[in-house]
Amino acid sequence: MSLYQGRFDGKVAFVTGGVSGIGAAVTSRLLAEGATVVAVDVAQPAIDRFVTEHPDAGARLDTRVLDVTDPSAVTATIDEVADTYGHLDILVANAGVGAGGAVADVDDASWRFVLGVDLDGVFHVARAALPHLIASKGSIVSTASISGMGGDFGMAAYNAAKGAVINLTRSMAVDYGHQGVRVNAVAPGPVATPALRPILDENPQVRAAYAERIPLGRVGESDEIAGAILFLASDDAGFISGVTLPVDGGLTSWTAQPTLY
């Protein structure tokens, strides 16, 4: 049971990538705290699995297949949601993908795929949701990354997309603050999602490297990122807008220099 049960009573939230990893944790927490949640994902099997794992959600869980790279489908879905429930209060733009490669090694299709989901997807859902969020004085929280705050080896497309999400967050906060909409982002560090956990389990040296570099000595868990997202979406953050909050165990506090003393 959430410590904040009832914090989102009466609120309607739309969560992209909402049935796996960080998105699943966000959806679960929002449900536990009283919200009605429309959780969308591109994969029906992932949706079916999440529904099976949440048999008590009832009518407050609404799941739909949606490709965030399809602007027409995004607009139609969000308009339908707002019409069905009468309002939309929270958008969590969480859908994301990753792909490796330095600039000279990335082909056009891979570049467009990562930018299409990680950046265009945020733009599409925000653009469609904003008229409804203006009406409700709602909020947007996007999932950026510490990889948008600095560079990584061999992750050019992902770095570019997440860096753009961070500045898009600032831009929307400036443009829509006077209309009562708050716009923020979280920047997770390494998180034991279904994408990363197999790598950690199969490569103890990778887990050890993270433990050495992260001041808290471990990678994060999806629910820890969800907690930060829910804070930014809640009235507790009522005077916070345009912020990208690192949730990284202190990783971005470190200069990466070796220990000298």
SS3 category, 244: strand
User: Can you tell me the distance from the alpha carbon of 247 to that of 228, in angstroms, rounded to the nearest whole number?
Assistant: 8
Among 4, 158, 176, 261, which one carries the catalytic annotation? 158
Report the Cα–Cα distance between both ends of the chain, in Å, rounded.
45
Of the candidates 115, 113, 172, the one whose C-alpha atom is nearest the C-alpha of residue 142 is 172
SS3 category, 245: strand
Distances (CA, A) of 203 to 194, 196, 209, 249: 15, 11, 10, 21
Of the candidates 150, 174, 176, the one whose C-alpha atom is nearest the C-alpha of residue 162 is 150
131 C-beta neighbours (distance < 10 Å), count: 12
Q: Catalytic: 158? A: yes
What are the backbone dihedrals phi and psi of residue 233, each rounded to the nearest 5 degrees, phi first? Answer: -80, -15
- Catalytic annotation, residues: 158
